[in-house]
Amino acid sequence: MKKKEKLKNQWQYHLMLLPGFLAVLIFCYIPMYGLIIAFENYNVGAGFASPWVGLANFKYLFNQPTFLRTITNTLFIAIWKLALGIVVPVTIALLLNEMKSSKITRFYQTLIYIPNFLSWVIMAGVLMDILATDGAVNSILASLGLAPINFLGSSKIFPWTMIWSDVWKGFGYGTIVYLAALTGMDPALYESADVDGASRWVKITKITLPLLMPTIILMLILSLGNVLNAGFDQIYNLYSPVVYETGDVIDTYVYRLGIQQAQYSVGTAVGLFKSVVSAILIAVSYVLADRLAGYRIF
């Protein structure tokens, strides 16, 4: 530990901070003031001075079956995405790590990372094309003699379409993180295992996986704040009223209510509710990250 010395020219550092400080003050803090419309019956004529209604908007919300439905839908989709978003990349990373040819590994890595960079607008267009009832995937199913699947139009299947397409788009990212962690491991451990004649399976389960555990826990904790983020960009661009029952999530609900149906106060109330819950989850997860994984983000 270094001793704390006096910084010279303190004011210059503060001057450097000023632009960022102002940007955040104006574009993040001032809108927070607007959250008071969640407690008002927002009237466009009166603006922020609209009549105060206290918690009425929240009461209204929690009596709406359509709102309660969005919470369960959000949790269902988000939690599955989190779980599979860890299991799939870890598995793929372990398998890639077993590959003997590093050239092929690198080539594969390049391929699986592609979908990650494309926007959900593009991906939605691609998915709508290939998952249509007469699209490529269903043609393949038909040629295998299987019944067609209504991936985007059936409320039973829609959430799974969202979950798997999100995993498909994102697993390249996780895979590379885990692979980076794996390559940093001490080869000596494996060499001694080889001496003992351990099988691949034993090496994976007894050495690799335990070594990977801290990274897995860290990634899990860091994504905990996303439990209420089921993916607005993705779902908004792919859903339709037919699948609202299982596919409508908090963010899409806020958008429809707040902007498409002009219920500004209720829309803001949902947003605030989500912000509070997410903030608690993020705070908890950062404490957990510190305690369990020894990772401090700031």
Partner 1 sequence: MKKTRYTAFDFFLVIFLGIICITCVLPFVHLLAVSFSSNAAVSAGKVGFIPVDFTLASYDYVLKGGKFLRAMGISILRVVLGTLLNLALMVLTAYPLSKDELRFRKVYVVFFVITMLFSGGMIPTYLLVSKLGLKNNILALILPGALPVYNMIILMNFIRGLPREIEEAAWIDGATPFQTLSMVIFPLLGPSLATVGLFSMVGHWNDWFSGLIYMSNPDMYPLQTYLQTLLVNFEQLLQSSGNGADIMAILSKMNARTGRAAQLFLGALPIMMVYPFLQKYFTKGLTLGSVKG
Partner 2 sequence: MKAKRILAVLTAAVMGLGIVACGGSGSSGASSGAGRVEPPEDIWAPYEETVTVTVVGEENSGTAFQGDDDYQHNPWYQAYKDRFNIDLQNVWVSNDYTTKLNLSIADGDLPDVFHVNSSQLTQLHAAGMIMNLDEVFEKYASDTLKGYRKDNADTWATGEFDGSLYGIPQMSYGPIDQFQYVWIRQDWMQECGFDEPKTMDDVLTIAKTFAEKYGGYGIAENQNLDNLMRTALAYGAHPGIWVKQADGTLGYGTIQPEMKTAVAEYAKWYKDGILKSDFVTMDNDKMFQSLINGECGLVFFAQWFGYNPVPDLIANQGPEAIFYPYEIPSETGSPIMGSVTFNNNGYVVINKNCVNPEAVMKIVNFFPYMMDDAVEAGETHEFICSLYDNNYPNIVFPTRVINPMTDYNQYVQVKAAVDKWLAGEEVDTADLGKNVSKFNSCVAWNTSQDVNGVGDWLQQGNDRSAYGISKKYLDDGQYVKDAMWGAPTATLQASGSTLNDILIEGFTKIIVGEKDIDYFDEIVQQWKTAGGDQATQEINETYGK
Q: Which stretch binds partner 2 (CB under 8 A): 1-9, 44-52, 82-90, 118-126?
A: 44-52
The 3-class SS string of the chain reads CCCCCCCCCHHHHHHHHHHHHHHHHHHHHHHHHHHHHHHECCECCCECCCCECCCHHHHHHHCCHHHHHHHHHHHHHHHHHHHHHHHHHHHHHHHHHHCCCHHHHHHHHHHHHHHHHCCHHHHHHHHHHHCCCCCHHHHHHHHCCCCCCCCCCCCCCHHHHHHHHHHHHHHHHHHHHHHHHHHCCCHHHHHHHHHCCCCHHHHHHHHHHHHHHHHHHHHHHHCHHHCCCCCHHHHHHHCCHHHHHHHCCHHHHHHHHHHHCCCHHHHHHHHHHHHHHHHHHHHHHHHHHHHHHCCCCC
Q: Which is nearer to partner 2, 125 or 148 (CB)?
A: 148
By a kind-dependent CB cut-off of 5 to 8 A, residue 272 interacts, out of partner 1, partner 2, none, with: partner 1
Distance CA 80, CA 163 (A): 7
- Of partner 2, partner 1, none, which one does residue 254 interact with (CB within 5 to 8 Å by kind)? partner 1
Select 75 or 132, whichever has its Cβ closest to partner 2: 132
Query: Is the Cβ of residue 71 or residue 257 nearer to partner 1 in the bound state?
Result: 257
Applying CB under 8 A, which of residues 128, 157, 245, 282 lies at the interface with partner 2? Answer: 245
What CA–CA distance (Å, rounded) separates 172 from 229? Answer: 20
Q: Write down the least CB distance from residue 71 to partner 2, Å.
A: 16
CB of 230 to partner 1, least distance (A): 15
19 touches partner 2 by CB under 8 A: no
Write out the binding residues for partner 1, residues 7-66 only, by CB under 8 A. 7-10, 12-14, 16-17, 19-21, 23-24, 26-35, 37
Cβ closer to partner 2: 96 or 243?
A: 243
- The yes or no reply on residue 65 touching partner 2 (CB under 8 A) is yes
**Chosen residue from 41, 60, 84, 115 binding partner 1 by CB under 8 A:** 115
Closest CA to 178 of 252, 244, 112: 112
Report the residue from 7, 30, 111, 188 that binds partner 2 according to the rule CB under 8 A: 30
Does residue 66 bind partner 2 (CB under 8 A)?
Answer: yes
> Going residue by residue from 268 to 297, which x/- string records binding to partner 1, judged by CB under 8 A?
x--xx--x--xx--xx----------xx-x
Distance CA 269, CA 251 (A): 12
What CA–CA distance (Å, rounded) separates 178 from 109?
A: 12
Shortest spacing between CB 168 and partner 1, in angstroms: 7
Asked if residue 165 lies in contact with residue 123, where contact means CB atoms within 8 angstroms, the answer is yes
Closer CB to partner 1, 155 or 237, in the complex = 237
Binders of partner 1 among residues 179 to 238 (CB under 8 A) are 180-181, 200, 215, 218-219, 222, 232-233, 237
Contacted entry of partner 2, partner 1, none for residue 68, CB cut-off 5 to 8 Å set by kind: none
Structure tokens at 152: 């985007």
Q: Which residues bind partner 2 (CB under 8 A)?
A: 25-26, 29-30, 32-34, 43-48, 64-66, 133-134, 148, 150, 153, 155, 241-242, 244-245, 259-262, 264
